[in-house]
Structure 1
Amino acid sequence: MELAPNESVTGTGAMAGLAAMRADVSALTGRHPEHVFRSLSETLNRWAADGIDTEPFHAGVETAERRYAGYGLTTMLPLDRVLVGCESSRAGAFGGFHHPDQGYRHLQMAAVITMYGPMERRNPERPALALLDLLRAYAHDCLHYGSRRRYVEVAGMPVRTQYGINYRRATGQSYSAADRSGSNHTRNLGIVMEGACDKEARSITRQTAEQLGVTEPSGTLGALTFRDVTGTLTDEDVLCVADVPESGEQARYVSALSGFEMGVNRRYAHFLAEFTPGEESECHRRILTAIITGHVTELGVWLDERHGPGTFTGLFRSQGYFEPALTV
């Protein structure tokens, strides 16, 4: 069975369970019965054959490969493990990064993505914007794919006990607790890791757009999406979402965009500014390296030098949880 770059599995039952889930990803696409899914490579080839310039995606992936190698990730998510949905039979279907129930799924080692914009068609309505959205999603999911994971066998099935710098008991207790609803800061490692992955993916997308001269499109929704994929949303953008939608699906999409910005990206930015003011970029780099390798010691020492001994544990460990092997 193929494993992701930094995965390890203990137990023949766990290995067999993962192999079965990875051999058949229909459980993921089956959640979207109205959409037609094809591999990312096939999707790009079809678009190129129809005259769409796919260079923004390919150029962005080259940038991602160089940057990710610096964090210890040298293998990108295979294109045949990414499924892109379009040609939907659902009236008014609207896709993109914030489409419901998509993204990377570690058990299946596969990602589900939808074409940005109206989905009742073969090709995107706004190709340049759709390719940037696709790049953001793929760059984001590659980091999830390459993150450190440990699985153990419980009752013959795989149970994840480590993801990046977060840990979980085989009985289900997570190392860090969920944030309080409505909080503008975070003490949750899941939010930190999700925010770190998306900050990096949006930075790559922004750099690609600048290099290739892809500019913000006209129209409120198009402009919002461009600023979202490039990480340039303003406070006013997040507040004006109610004025954007033209349909029910667009309304849900923009609401999800706003929720992700406030619940993940803004909380992660607040965390960096709160604990490493003036050194946000360095802290971000160390967090991503720790997520990929699974080694939290160097990050912990770096935080301790700024805030005293035991900073990582004090910030993130929930009551009653004890993990004696954080350096594994």
Structure 2
Amino acid sequence: MAALAAMRADASSLTRKHPAHVFRPLSEMLSRWAADGIGTTSFHAGVENAKRRYAGYGLAKMLPLNRVLVGCESSRAGAFGGFHHPDQGYRHLQMVAVITMYGPMERRNPERPALALLDLLRAYAHDCLHYGSRRRYVEVAGVPVRTQYGINYRRTSGQSYSAADQRGSHHTRNLGIVMEGACDKEARSITRQTAERFGVTAPSDVLGGLAFRDVTGTLTEEDAGRVEIVPESEEKTRYAAALSGYEKGVNRRYSRFLEEFAPGEESECHTRLLAAIISGDVTALGTWLDERHGPGTFTGLFRTPGYFEPGLTA
């Protein structure tokens, strides 16, 4: 606990990976934008919606806004931020989320506030689920080692309960992908509802349109080809490629998983998965899957051959 507390007292190890960007707590960023005349009501409304929904999955507390660091005012020429900016996201040891303002980052305020706020909402709603996922740590040689995260497990030797998917696979048998996909599906659903409520629509330019459909979970098969024609800058091209890779490697695989093992009941399976991720208990989810596919479905789907940990029920 002392080692974890020390890590959580100082997030500089995360922010110094981005020396060109200035990072501020999310609460401060929202206040600065509001003071500059940018309406932030859509973000706050989306967060309230997320709180209500997440409570139904057993999440009692959202990620504190002061534990979310937002980067902008970059000194790097052409810097472009957003959900798919490199080396950002929630970090469990520090219990901090590092994210960036969507769009050109060489400025104090977003170029497109409405879209930037949706991107921010998607990132925050996503990271709240990571923050609330069940975790278990043990001490190994004075260092905290995470042995459980949500419904995934890892031995102190580093062996994971489920193996990585094969490169290029269109489906998944990896619990990390399943949990990441479940969190993002939920976050994008909240963002889509918020966009509809506040009348935010897709920009007309290629990257802006892709980003809008990404944060709202409405990317199409045709969008895969549009990624190749993002103009203007290397950073924007790289951002579009990361967006496409995440869609194919996480969200599409998770959608196919639901279609495979819960046809016609995708929403029910998704809900049960999120509840299990928050509680860390796979019993109810395992029973639900067994009723549809036979005994031992969870273990058969996910457990790597040779993995065994005494006392693990799955």
TM-score by length of 1: 0.95
Aligned to 2:211: 225
- The one of the two structures with greater contact order (alpha-carbon pairs below 8 A, sep at least 6) is 1
Residues 297, 326 of structure 1: 8 Å contact kept:
no
Aligned to 1:5: none
Deviations 1:90-137 (A, max 9, x none): 000000000000000000000001000000000000000000000000
Deviations 1:36-92 (A, max 9, x none): 000000000000000001011100000000000000002000000000000000000
* Structure 1 position 134 matched with structure 2 position 123: no
* Structure 1 position 214 matched with structure 2 position 200: yes
Aligned to 1:116: 102
Q: Distance in 2 between matches of 1:284 and 1:323?
A: 26
* Structure 1 position 70 matched with structure 2 position 52: no
Aligned to 2:267: 281
SS at match of 2:222: helix
Aligned to 2:141: 155
Instruction: Please show how residues 232-243 of structure 1 align to structure 2 within 5 Å.
Output: 232-243=218-229
Give the superposition deviation at 1:322.
Answer: 1.3
Of 239, 252, 260, 1:266 maps to 252
Residues 245, 254 of structure 1: 8 Å contact kept:
no
Letter paired with 2:130: H
Instruction: Please show how residues 1-328 of structure 1 align to structure 2 within 5 Å.
Output: 15-327=1-313
Letter paired with 2:230: V
Residues 206, 226 of structure 2: 8 Å contact kept:
no
Letter paired with 1:141: D
What 5-or-longer segments of structure 1 have no aligned partner? 1-14
Give the superposition deviation at 1:326.
Answer: 3.4
Q: Distance in 2 between matches of 1:99 and 1:56?
A: 22
Residues 164, 291 of structure 1: 8 Å contact kept:
yes
Residues 295, 326 of structure 1: 8 Å contact kept:
no
Give the superposition deviation at 1:144.
Answer: 0.1
Give the superposition deviation at 1:214.
Answer: 1.1
Letter paired with 1:234: T
185-194 vs 16-25, greater mean Cα deviation? 16-25
Letter paired with 1:288: L
% identical equivalent positions: 81
SS at match of 1:235: coil
Q: Calculate the aligned-residue CA RMSD, in Å.
A: 0.9
Q: Distance in 2 between matches of 1:160 and 1:298?
A: 23
Q: Distance in 2 between matches of 1:88 and 1:272?
A: 40
Q: Distance in 2 between matches of 1:110 and 1:271?
A: 30
Give the superposition deviation at 1:327.
Answer: 4.7
